[in-house]
Amino acid sequence: MKNIWIFFILLSAAAYAGEVIHIELPTTTPENRILKFSIRPPINKAPRHIMVLFGGRNWNGDKTIKTYGFNALADKNGIILISPWFKNDNYWEPEKWSGKALLEAVDTLRRRYKISDQAQLFYYGYSAGGQCAALFYTWRPELVAAWGAHACGVWFDPDKTACTAPAVITCGRRDTGRCELSFNTVQRWRDRGAETVWRAYNSGHELNKEALKLAHAFFESQLNGDRSIKYIGDDQTGKFYPASRENQRKIPEDLRSAFRSLDTAQLWAGE
């Protein structure tokens, strides 16, 4: 309870300053007994959404928020960014303890900023954080509006997973094992009707700038309220077409990237 009161005081002092502030919550795990969260409220805009940013393995939340660079997107769309300082203890398995801890922090944000309980979450992560984004999504898919993962090496079983939330999934081609596994998951998931954007880059395991730009455009398109698919991309050729065109219908279902905006399609194609 003491941490929650400190949390309220800090939020009151920096509610719309765009500065990263912190809260702490207790857990029963050996290396996360006091779990910290970094929080960045949007500047000059009433918060309406919450985006969870999962960093690389054992990253602290400050590093994650700074590295991903979602501040402009958050300020434009009224998004609170929250990033956990997870450390070991199998934190990528939300059903064990980390999911409950994250949702406790999220619920506190909802109460403080009067964000509707019906407002779904957005997830994004890199490497171990991509694993978190995927597994936290499949743990409670009804809570998530859209999500993304880069260089994820552990995936869910697409045949046992709901396909309700659109996703942007990327990887470096030289990150061979992760790239093959990610693309295989995307293909199998698309066969079940999932709306996904897939892009492989000429890079290794690092989080590259182009993947982040694509993620930014993807989430922007998910936030504008228009749920229609505007363009379809062919993963084999790297070309995209208006969804109304006949030639896009020839693209196999498991090789189709779906875009809600021209910006997303163009960044995907490298234009």
Task: Look at residue 240 and tell me if it is in a domain.
Answer: no
Task: Look at residue 266 and tell me if it is in a domain.
Answer: no
Task: Look at residue 54 and tell me if it is in a domain.
Answer: yes
Task: Look at residue 131 and tell me if it is in a domain.
Answer: yes
CATH of the domain at 109: 3.40.50.1820
With 70 as the cut, is the pLDDT of residue 128 above it?
yes
With 80 as the cut, is the pLDDT of residue 271 above it?
no
pLDDT tens for 30-80 read 999 999 999 999 998 889 999 999 999 999 999 999 999 999 999 999 999
Question: Which of 129-138, 154-163, 211-220, 230-239 has the lowest average pLDDT?
Answer: 154-163
Task: Look at residue 237 and tell me if it is in a domain.
Answer: no
How far apart CA 109 and CA 31 sit, in angstroms, is 24
* Whether this model's pTM surpasses 0.85: yes
Mean pLDDT over 161-182 rounds to 95
Mean pLDDT over 142-165 rounds to 93
With 90 as the cut, is the pLDDT of residue 27 above it?
yes
Task: Look at residue 207 and tell me if it is in a domain.
Answer: yes
pLDDT tens for 75-117 read 999 999 999 999 999 999 999 999 999 999 999 999 999 999 9
Question: Which of 56-65, 121-130, 239-248 has the lowest average pLDDT?
Answer: 239-248
Range of the domain at 192: 2-230
Question: Which of 17-31, 49-63, 193-207 has the lowest average pLDDT?
Answer: 17-31
pLDDT at 114: 93
pLDDT at 4: 45
**Number of structural domains in the chain:** 1
pLDDT at 9: 39
Q: How confident is the model at residue 17 (pLDDT cuts 50, 70, 90)?
A: low
Task: Look at residue 247 and tell me if it is in a domain.
Answer: no
Task: Look at residue 245 and tell me if it is in a domain.
Answer: no
With 60 as the cut, is the pLDDT of residue 12 above it?
no
Q: How confident is the model at residue 249 (pLDDT cuts 50, 70, 90)?
A: confident
pLDDT at 212: 98
